Chain A
Amino acid sequence: MNKIFFLILFSLTLAVQAAESDYQGTFAKSEIILDCSNYRIYDFDLTNKYTFDNTQPGTFTKDTIISQLSQDSTGYRINIWADLGSETGEPLFIRFQKSATNKEHMVYAGSEMHLLKDKLQLRGGYHHLGSYSDRIDNKLIELTQHYGYSPKYQGTGSFGISEYYFGIWKLSLDNVNTRGIIRKYGNWVLLPVNYDPVYISGYRYAQDFSISGVSDIIMVNADINMQRKYLDHLHSESDDIFTYDFLWKHKISQLSNAGVECNGNTDADQGYLFRLYLDNKINENFGYYFKAGLWTSGEPQGECNVNWNPNCKLNMNFNMQYAYKPSQKTIHYLSADGPADIKFEPIRETRMMSFFECMRIFDAPLSCRGWTLFQAGSPEYAIIGGDSIRSIIVRQSDEFIAAMGGKINTQLHSPSKSFLMNSWIMGNCFFSGQLPEEVPFEAGSELSYVSGKNKENRYTVKLTYRTPYSVHVNVNGHDEIRESKQNLFMNLSIDVPFVSPLFSKHIKPAIRLSAGPVHLLHDTRQAFHPYGADMGPAISAKMFIDLM
């Protein structure tokens, strides 16, 4: 038995790394900020916030994107990866029954296959964010003290903040593209506004399908989410949500399309939208589209978007919309203060947004992007407590918001290209009003040393400074700002591909070791978000095995 365990352990050590499909020559730059509320990835640029599914923390759109096959591939490719990470002081392997301390650990393992000359792609795996978020932990203690029972659930995600198994497939033929995603998940979800924890588990299946003909394109997306919610922290109730989008575009001239679109969401009140669509390209560099329609409640919706690429280094985009978001189902749940309701009010807002990106400025190694936002609308949403009636408004009613922000990036390297430096500075400012969440000023620098024949071995140190991250709310008429501390922290990483002892032409293994964030201003653990978990230095090891 011990022998079997040892072999398993050894296999794990070998497999503790991963074949990330885009590994070759590129290293993922985005970071999972483990302790942001609901685990969002923030780029600290409002225009570039990753789409996030707040019912499934730890899942990103990034997870669902299947990578492209590299140019030098022989027509098939299999990647296998495994990633183990834990905050210092936390056991490395998941222990389902207990955690030594309220800290983070993570397991992410999976495989991706590219077959039939990349026409068929399959991906599947397992992801566990075994985080005992401080917020969740504290709330559970409060609940236990108040109600005399400890919320514990069986099944996927029982004790971690997020756990899921996933499978993705994508088939690309000449005129047909289809992609399916299935997940079995269990999550501690932090509800909006107060960030109270609720456990939700279930199955989710989403399917995209598009077919294009000579003059027509049809796109269909359907998503069914079969949830079980533990709103009283003891009993579950089912809540199935079905969403779909349908778009039919017809070519009316060489450079123009017209179409019809409809969207539906069973979670929203009268959440069905019908729109007409028109796009036109004046030339290769200039194009626009219009969308206009009605919700079943009679509320109008309209959008206009203009895109201009004067040259390959500059891209400008202007978007204007009147948007209506219907109210969603009210959530009745048990908070530590008693029964509570969260009511999502409908949102009507007028919004103008411009965005530009310049890849290179005056032939200097500088790139920049910037944005402006003008927005007016009704409250973002409100919460009404059950016992003690109170209202929390995240954005003032009819408040006019004018904001702008930008990011400048520079990339330098030594003459031998052994040292690379990437520095950035970004900030956002508000001239009028405020957004519900204020993304801070951030500046940082990343220094890498690369070595080896093809500069494949990479050693990186990254230093980041962030001003406090704040959430703006209005509680019973009083403005409140809830914010994290400012942060200065360091991350270290080492990426080393190595030569496989077996079939080295076909097996390309590599490891990535990373450590951080090491906080330099405060204690070893720091909150990145007002309601997120504290995060101390974590260490992770990842192994990639690329079979080609």
Chain B
Amino acid sequence: MMFRKSILLLSVLCLLSCSYGQQQHKYTLFCGTAYEIPLNLSDTWDPFPTFGAGFQCPTSDSNMTIGFSAYYGNLKSDTISVTNPMLHTEISLNYLFRLPSDVISFSATLALIDWAVKIPAEKPSDNISLIASWENEFGVSAGAAVNLHKIRNLIVSVPLRGSVIFSSPDYFYSFSFGLTIGYQLHAGKNE
């Protein structure tokens, strides 16, 4: 619950930051959900929903944006009766393929992700530091999204992603699909 509040707080901070942005640039704030289907060799993990938010900044390439986002969910396994909070943060590069239609566009994403899973302390007395109690693993993710621009400044996206997390001893794979709603801040010359 606290994390969801944090995500909300972050979203507000992002919104405030971008409100003061230079007018000639365009930023996208988004939030949404993704349904993760994790796979690895040693354990059986159940699919689970995640919720998150982020923002995208423009680069000098008009079709390319860079995005920062965080998604939170509960990684769990009924087989081994474990539920671990999971936080997935990422830096993504998004390339927009413009289609003849103004309503639909297609984008491809390549992301570097950090998949952090909170490991509960074995005993309450364990003096475990905040960061050390999270297992962090690098991963990469690739995917595509269909975007709908039906309402002004609002973008509805349906992303489909595949990820590999370079954990040890086994790599961890995850597939996800979801729905995000984005709001584009753009003004001045672009309007």
Contact = CB atoms under 8 A, between A and B. Distances in A.
A496 B60 CA distance: 9
Contacts of A90: 168
Contacts of A452: 59-61, 64
Interface in B96-135: 112, 114, 116, 130-132, 134-135
Contacts of A16: 91
B167 interface: yes
A14 interface: yes
A86 B60 contact: no
B27 interface: yes
Interface string A485-520: 000000000101111111011000001010100000
Given A2-B3, A7-B6, A501 B57 contact: yes
B91 A6 contact: no
Select the residue from A9, A457, A497, A511 with max chain B CB neighbours within 10 A.
Answer: A9
A100 B22 CA distance: 45
A2 B6 contact: yes
A494 B57 CA distance: 16
Contact of B64 (A14, A95, A496, A511): A496
B2 interface: yes
Interface string B44-68: 0000000000010111110011101
B17 to A, nearest CB: 5
A254 interface: no
B22 A499 contact: yes
Contact of A13 (B59, B91, B130): B91
Interface string B131-156: 11011111010000000000000000
A440 B70 CA distance: 45
A89 B136 CA distance: 10
Contact of B166 (A88, A93, A513): A88
A16 B3 CA distance: 21
B66 A496 contact: yes
Given A91-B135, A92-B136, A93-B136, A100 B5 contact: no
Given A13-B68, A502-B20, A456 B60 contact: yes
Nearest to B95: A451
B86 interface: no
Contact of B5 (A3, A88, A103): A3
B12 to A, nearest CB: 12
A453 to B, nearest CB: 4
B188 interface: no
Contact of B6 (A3, A88, A101, A453): A3
B187 interface: no
A499 B190 CA distance: 15
Interface residues of A, number: 45
Contacts of B130: 1, 5
Contact of A457 (B61, B87, B136, B168): B61
A92 B65 CA distance: 25
Contact of B169 (A10, A101, A456, A499): A101
Contact of B57 (A7, A100, A457, A500): A500
B64 A88 contact: no
A539 interface: yes
A90 B20 CA distance: 39
B31 to A, nearest CB: 15
A501 B27 contact: yes
Contacts of B167: 89
Contacts of A511: 66, 91
B187 to A, nearest CB: 13
Given A13-B68, A92-B138, A95-B132, A504 B166 contact: no
A61 to B, nearest CB: 30
Given A10-B89, A88-B166, A3 B9 contact: yes
A453 B60 contact: yes
Contact of A539 (B5, B27, B61, B138): B138
Contacts of A431: none
A13 B21 contact: no
Contacts of A9: 70, 87, 89, 116
Contacts of A14: 68
A6 B93 contact: no
Contacts of B25: 499, 501, 504
B18 interface: yes
Given A14-B68, A89-B169, A501-B21, A2 B60 contact: no
A539 B57 contact: no
Contacts of B70: 6, 9-10, 13
A6 B3 contact: yes
Interface string B3-29: 101110110001001101110010100
A231 B81 CA distance: 48
Contacts of A454: 60
A497 B25 CA distance: 14
Contacts of B168: 89-90, 100-101, 103
Contacts of B9: 3, 7
B136 A502 contact: no
A414 interface: no
Contacts of A92: 114, 136-138
Select the residue from B17, B135, B168, B171 with max chain A CB neighbours within 10 A.
Answer: B168
Contacts of B64: 451-452, 457, 496
B22 A97 contact: no
Nearest to A99: B168
Given A93-B136, A97-B132, A496-B64, A456 B20 contact: no
A362 interface: no
Nearest to A96: B132
Nearest to B130: A5
A541 interface: yes
Contacts of A513: 91, 112
Nearest to B55: A501
B30 to A, nearest CB: 14
Interface of A: 1-3, 5-7, 9-10, 13-14, 16, 86, 88-93, 95-97, 100-101, 103, 451-454, 456-457, 494, 496-502, 504-505, 511, 513, 515, 539, 541
Interface of B: 2-3, 5-7, 9-10, 14, 17-18, 20-22, 25, 27, 55, 57-61, 64-66, 68, 70, 87, 89, 91, 93, 112, 114, 116, 130-132, 134-138, 140, 166-169, 171
13 contacts: A1-B130, A3-B6, A5-B130, A6-B10, A13-B91, A88-B171, A89-B166, A89-B167, A453-B61, A456-B59, A457-B64, A515-B140, A541-B91
Given A498-B59, A499-B25, 9 more contacts: A89-B166, A89-B167, A92-B114, A93-B131, A451-B60, A452-B60, A457-B59, A496-B93, A498-B58
